[in-house]
Every structure is written in C-alpha cells, then in structure tokens.
C-alpha cells in the first residue's frame, strides 16, 4: 500500500487510460525538454562568452565564424517599468537566416 496525495476533500477522479497515457507521455517529453534546455543554456553561455572575447565593433556589422553570423550592437538605455542601462548585445544566427 502507498499513500497517494489527495487534491481536496471533494476530489474528482477521472479514470480514462487514454487520457492518463497522453498525460504521462506529455510529462516524459516535458522532463526531456527541461534537460535539453539546460544543455542548450550551457552551450549558449559558452558560445556567447567566446564571441564576447572577439574584438568586434559594436555597430551591428556581422562577421562570419564558420556557418554562423555574429554581431554586437549597443542597446541604448530606455524607460520601461524600470530603468535599464546601456549594454552590449551579442547576436548569433546561421548565415542565411532572416533577421
């Protein structure tokens, strides 16, 4: 016997194996997506750090690195719901990809 958390005192239980299977499949994919996103974020941070070391002009003009186009541009301060400061923006995209 195992304890199963109850949603509420008047919990409604739906017994539908097809829906339950769909929900289980969704959860498996969601868990896999989380792992993939974490790997992507790590690779993205690594690539952005490497590109940041390049002495590219901060005027938006692109340079080619293999099949990639890299560019740096300045984001001017602007007022939103809070104040932001100036920063350098790094763009990475495939050559031939539309902006």
> What pLDDT sits at residue 12?
77
Ordered by start, the domain boundaries in the chain are 16-53, 56-99
- The neighbouring-strand residues paired with 76 are none
3-state secondary structure of 77: coil
The token pair that represents 67 in the structure block: 């099949």
pLDDT at position 88 over 90: no
Averaged pLDDT for residues 19-45: 92
pLDDT tens digit sequence for 50-84: 999 999 999 988 999 999 999 999 888 887 687 77
> What pLDDT sits at residue 81?
80
Confidence bin at 3 (pLDDT 50/70/90): low
Averaged pLDDT for residues 27-54: 94
> What pLDDT sits at residue 21?
93
How much is the mean pLDDT over the chain?
84
CA distance 84 to 77: 6
Averaged pLDDT for residues 84-90: 84
């Amino acid at each position: 016997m195992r304890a199963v958390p109850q949603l509420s005192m008047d919990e409604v239980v739906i017994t539908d194996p097809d829906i339950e299977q769909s929900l289980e499949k969704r959860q498996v994919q969601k868990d896999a997506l989380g792992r993939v996103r974490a790997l992507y974020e790590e690779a993205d941070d690594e690539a952005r750090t490497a590109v940041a070391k390049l002495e590219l002009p901060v005027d938006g003009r692109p340079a080619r690195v293999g099949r990639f186009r890299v560019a740096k541009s300045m984001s001017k301060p602007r007022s939103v719901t809070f104040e932001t400061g100036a920063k350098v923006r790094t763009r990475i995209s495939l050559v031939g990809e539309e902006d």
